[in-house]
């Protein structure tokens, strides 16, 4: 499973699984894109329910891998400007844990 395509495991979805390892850690990334900050920050949309869903997907993905590698959950927040300016991109590393 590589980057750039939606990964589906069972009935759950995860936006991306990082195509590279950072050391011995596999990075699971939830991407949140917005055009406005009016309602709430994009990263705030990854609430406890969404975190539980992502952890379940990660466990399913990790199950067949040898050695049970360490995993990390990141949130990639992207704000698109309707005027065509460059997007504002922020990566929140270790945004939440597997527990």
- CATH number for the domain that contains residue 73: 3.40.1350.10
Strand 25-34 relative to strand 16-22, pairing = antiparallel
- pTM of the entire predicted model: 0.79
**Residue range 3-62, pLDDT digits in tens:** 434 455 555 666 666 656 888 898 998 999 999 888 889 899 999 999 998 898 888 888
87 in any annotated domain:
yes
Residue 1: inside a domain: no
Per-residue pLDDT, 1? 44
pLDDT at 14: 66
| Residue 63, domain extent | 7-96
CA distance 97 to 84: 35
Per-residue pLDDT tens digits for 61-73: 888 888 888 999 9
**Is residue 46 in some structural domain?**
yes
2 domain-assigned: no
What is the structure's pLDDT at 17? 65
Q: Which two tokens stand for residue 98?
A: 């597997």
- The total of structural domains in the chain comes to 1
């Amino acid at each position: 499973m590589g980057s750039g395509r939606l990964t589906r495991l069972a009935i759950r979805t995860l936006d991306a699984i990082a195509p590279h390892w950072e050391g011995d850690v596999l990075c699971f990334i939830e991407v949140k894109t917005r055009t406005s900050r009016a309602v709430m920050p994009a990263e705030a949309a990854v609430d406890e329910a969404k975190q539980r869903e992502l952890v379940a997907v990660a466990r399913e993905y990790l199950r067949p891998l040898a050695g049970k590698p360490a995993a990390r959950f990141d949130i990639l927040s992207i704000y698109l400007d309707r005027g065509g300016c460059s997007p504002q991109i922020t990566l929140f590393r270790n945004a939440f844990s597997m527990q």
